[in-house]
Homo-oligomer: A and B are copies of this chain.
Amino acid sequence: MEIKSYIESISKKAKDESFSLRSLNSDVKNKALISISKKLDEMRESIKEANKEDYERGKEKRLSKAFLDRLLLNDKRIDGMINSLKEIASFEDPVGEVVGVKRPQGFVLEKVRIPIGVIAVIFESRPNVTIDAAALCLKSGNAVILRGGSDAIESGKLLNSVIKEGLREVGIDPEVVQYVERTEHEGVNWLVRQNGLIDLVIPRGGESLIKSVVEAATVPVIKHYKGVCHLFVDASADFNMALDMVENAKTQRPAVCNAIETLLVHSSIAGEFLPLIQNRLENVELRGCEITRSILKNIKEATEDDYYAEYLDLILAVKVVDTVEEAVKHIEKYGSHHTDGIITGSVENMEYFANNVDSAVVTINASTRLSDGGVFGLGAEIGISTDKLHARGPMGLRELTTYKWVVRGSGHLRIL
């Protein structure tokens, strides 16, 4: 079959299935999630085998350490997927919630939460996203089309069949989840142009993935773009707080999007603070601006490319700035509007920073790593939106729904 027809047929199936999902009972959806979690446990060994195929192929292709780390499925990560399914089953079903009721001009006006319809999730070679995305879409009543990275194709295909078995067992048509098994890149371009069949495209990944999706798409897109996150250590920062926080934001889990990539330090404290942070971040490679390198003699230069980089690794760009305004300007120019923070004792500067940094999440005296759907109490997240529309920042079950207005009258007409 031509790739175009293949994508169209998948999209049509998803669209057809979306009608039955709209009014599917919460209990049945939760049972399906638990059933999938059991299948995952049962199929553990085959999953690891399929993943090993991907992993070995990736090693031969000399994919980066960070890439291989995200690709890997071990027992701990399979447990993670199982727990995630159970957790999603335990969350409240957002569908059907009446968000608002009014009685304008005598009739009843309801704003009701409903599924979006069909969602296409396009992601890189992180096999656990297969399960998370399917589970979140199912729970929110959406049919889903999964298009994972080609380097995780064997893991993805197996996880897809696990999902389908779980669905079948509770009597849900397994076609509510569609997995794109063909890896031609052209398939993505067809996928994002299925207006009328697909309602939303969520690309999760790096710059090139996002750019190619945005360029090709005619279906609405919510981007889950890279996290070039910053911490700005202001002149009045508490040094101990700043040291702990920079360490936490950089090293607690460097391969994720809410870890920081650039540290901005106020010039009035740079001479004192920079040696302390170098000492604290023993395992981190620092790359500095000119002033930083005049204080820390033995480090590499931070280039323009460094300031734009999402290292996802134990590397940190360091730049000295003279004012909070300069910090905000740097973030506006180089950041990805994901999560950026200030460490300061100045109320004026925290408010300036919070108002003027145009990012989904702004942290004040708190780690950027807290920018997370789970931590925010939104439940599991399908990702962190770096877009401004519909959903911004951590995107959970509610953000996978839309609403409809229902006017209930008894013969009400428009007079004026």
Contact = CB atoms under 8 A, between A and B. Distances in A.
A245 interface: yes
Interface residues of A, number: 68
A314 interface: no
B409 A365 contact: yes
Contacts of A408: 350, 364-366
Interface in A244-282: 244-245, 248, 252-253
Q: Give chain A's interface secondary structure class.
A: mixed
Nearest to A105: B375
Given A370-B407, A389-B116, A245 B365 contact: no
Contacts of A387: 220
A412 B362 contact: no
A408 to B, nearest CB: 5
Given A195-B214, A244-B413, A245-B413, A405 B107 contact: no
B414 A248 contact: yes
**Number of this chain's copies in the complex:** 2
A402 interface: yes
Contacts of A238: 411
Interface stretch (A26-34, A46-54, A352-360): A352-360
Contacts of A363: 406-407, 409
A392 B376 contact: no
Nearest to A22: B355
Given A116-B389, A370-B107, A414-B375, A407 B361 contact: yes
25 contacts: A19-B356, A22-B356, A102-B376, A105-B375, A200-B388, A200-B389, A214-B218, A220-B220, A220-B387, A220-B389, A238-B411, A241-B410, A359-B404, A361-B405, A363-B406, A363-B409, A364-B407, A366-B407, A366-B410, A366-B413, A369-B414, A370-B409, A389-B390, A390-B390, A393-B405
Interface in A346-404: 350, 354-356, 358-367, 369-372, 375-377, 387-390, 392-394, 402-404
B376 A405 contact: yes
Contacts of A354: 406
A117 interface: yes
A199 interface: yes
Contacts of A218: 214-215
A109 B414 contact: no
A356 B235 CA distance: 59
A389 to B, nearest CB: 4
Given A117-B388, A366-B413, A376-B405, 16 more contacts: A102-B376, A199-B388, A215-B218, A220-B388, A252-B414, A359-B404, A361-B404, A361-B406, A361-B407, A362-B404, A364-B408, A366-B407, A366-B410, A370-B412, A389-B389, A390-B390
